[in-house]
Amino acid sequence: MSTLNTTLLCDFYELTMANGYFELGKKDEIAYFDVFFRKVPDGGGFAIAAGLEQVIDYIKDLRFTAEDIEFLRSKGIFSEGFLDYLKDFRFTGDIYAVPEGTPIFPNEPMMTVRAPSVEAQFIETFVLLCLNHQSLIATKANRVVRAADGRPVMEFGSRRAQGADGAILGARAAFIGGCAATACTISDRDYAIPATGTMAHSWVQMFDNEYDAFSAYCKLYPENATLLVDTYDVLRSGVPNAIRAFKEFLLPKGITKCGIRLDSGDITYLSKKARKMLDEAGLYDCKIVVSNSLDENIIRDIILQGAKIDSFGVGERLITAKSNPVFGGVYKLVAKEEGGAIIPKIKISENPEKITNPHFKKVYRIIDNETGVAIADLLTVYDEVIDESKPLELFDPVETWKKKIVTNYTARELLVPIFKDGECVYKKPHITEIQSYCRDEVATLWEEVKRFENPHRYYVDLSRKLWDIKHSLLENRGKK
């Protein structure tokens, strides 16, 4: 990957605050920040966590170079003491996070940072950049993959992505969300995401006729012949020429694995007609791949219309999350340490949805032992332990009269240690492990939560102890 120094890829106010903490003697005060989001993209029922690996790499490499410090000196507002402090700057704190691929819900921590104030404050921008982008794309990809109903989805969006990282890391996130492959070659090299692709319309146009283009490709790549059949006329020339090329150059070698790709027109109608033509030619194993500005809604509709499609290539609407291109994760102070004690902090707003959940917390996923389905998530204070042998009371943190008593359940902690005292203690899983984990975790959600439209609300509840602390802070708003 790139060796670009990203230390100064931060909002400028991270530095002004850090300088302020240093000058006021607060640089060693321990602060706790939560990363969470408030709204699921596209009105969905859940999101998919992604981007943790890039946060880990960033924290490990976080250093201020002499050039960085000289640039900050040129701004004329930072003290020499602070600039000298930055020469040996390292992250020395703790980070907890949900593993990549975990289904996550609004207002629960997907990451918690505990560190000296300067360190905890400084990393905000890059942490959010990584988690917001990849969680957004992984969430979109998961929607697209679920709409495809078992048919493979390839990520085809590099040329429409917002910059190099948007393409490379977008492909990574899409794979976590469930895509089978990518068109982005460098993502295969760097992250072992299978790269796939055969030809563009220009290949067909480079030859005197369509048949010559197809036959040349079949000769060169007999084991990977997927022919693009819509350069001129799908049904009158594209499919007939593909059939001819397959019969003349693949079948004599005993190769029946082949495919055609449709990239324009009425996909449902054309795929039905093409399937009929292929079957009549005896090419039952020939797959039909479609692309062209697809998303989960279009895919769902054409499948319902009976389209004969074996796999999908999805580009711009996936890699840019076109329908809802902002994830909206935030980084909020929830506690600080004073004299060894953890003091909860809360942000109050005129908008109720922006009131934060205070304190250093645990996140539990409550699983019904009989069905294996997730019932709700529960936020507790860090020192609370759930006794699974006892009934558990869950109640809506806003409409508190909505209560449920749960028995025969498993309470699984979601946040796992990533860094301890500045050292990474987390073994990064392989990308295929993350994808499998994501698939298995999504399978634990109720089907009603997975609806694309008007999904059932999945509850994120507060323990009684945490609820009491939050409301005590609300009642004493602004007081010490």
Fold agreement between 12-137+325-475 and 141-319: no
Q: Which residues neighbour 15 within 8 Å (Cβ) at sequence distance 6 or greater?
A: 72, 78, 122
What pLDDT digit, counting tens, does each position of 277-305 carry? 999 999 999 999 999 999 999 999 999 99
Q: Is the pTM of this model over 0.85?
A: yes
What pLDDT digit, counting tens, does each position of 291-343 carry? 999 999 999 999 999 999 999 999 999 999 999 999 999 999 999 999 989 99
What pLDDT digit, counting tens, does each position of 126-177 carry? 999 999 999 999 999 999 999 999 999 999 999 999 999 999 999 999 999 9
Q: Which residues neighbour 115 within 8 Å (Cβ) at sequence distance 6 or greater?
A: 30, 31, 91, 92, 93, 94, 95
What is each CA distance from 22 to 18, 70, 122, in whole angstroms? 6, 18, 12
The token pair at 368 is 């019904």
Indicate the pLDDT class of residue 213, thresholds 50, 70 and 90.
very high
What pLDDT digit, counting tens, does each position of 7-34 carry? 999 999 999 999 999 999 999 999 999 9
The sign of the dihedral angle between the CA atoms of 270, 275, 278, 281 is: negative
What does the alpha-carbon distance between residue 182 and residue 195 come to, in Å, rounded to a whole number?
A: 5
The token pair at 47 is 């999101």
Burial 457-480 (b: 16+ CB within 10 A, else e): ebbbbbbeebbebbeebeeeeeee
Determine the distance from the C-alpha atom of residue 436 to the mean position of all C-alpha atoms in its chain, rounded to a whole number.
14
Length of the chain: 480
The sign of the dihedral angle between the CA atoms of 243, 247, 249, 254 is: positive
CATH class of 12-137+325-475: alpha beta
Indicate the pLDDT class of residue 1, thresholds 50, 70 and 90.
very low
Q: What is the CATH number of domain 141-319?
A: 3.20.20.70
What does the alpha-carbon distance between residue 291 and residue 299 come to, in Å, rounded to a whole number?
A: 10
For the chain, which residues make up each domain, given as ranges?
Answer: 12-137+325-475, 141-319
What pLDDT digit, counting tens, does each position of 216-249 carry? 999 999 999 999 999 999 999 999 999 999 999 9
Burial label, 151 (beta-carbon count in 10 A; 0-12, 13-18, 19+) = middle
β-pairing, 330-338 with 30-36? antiparallel
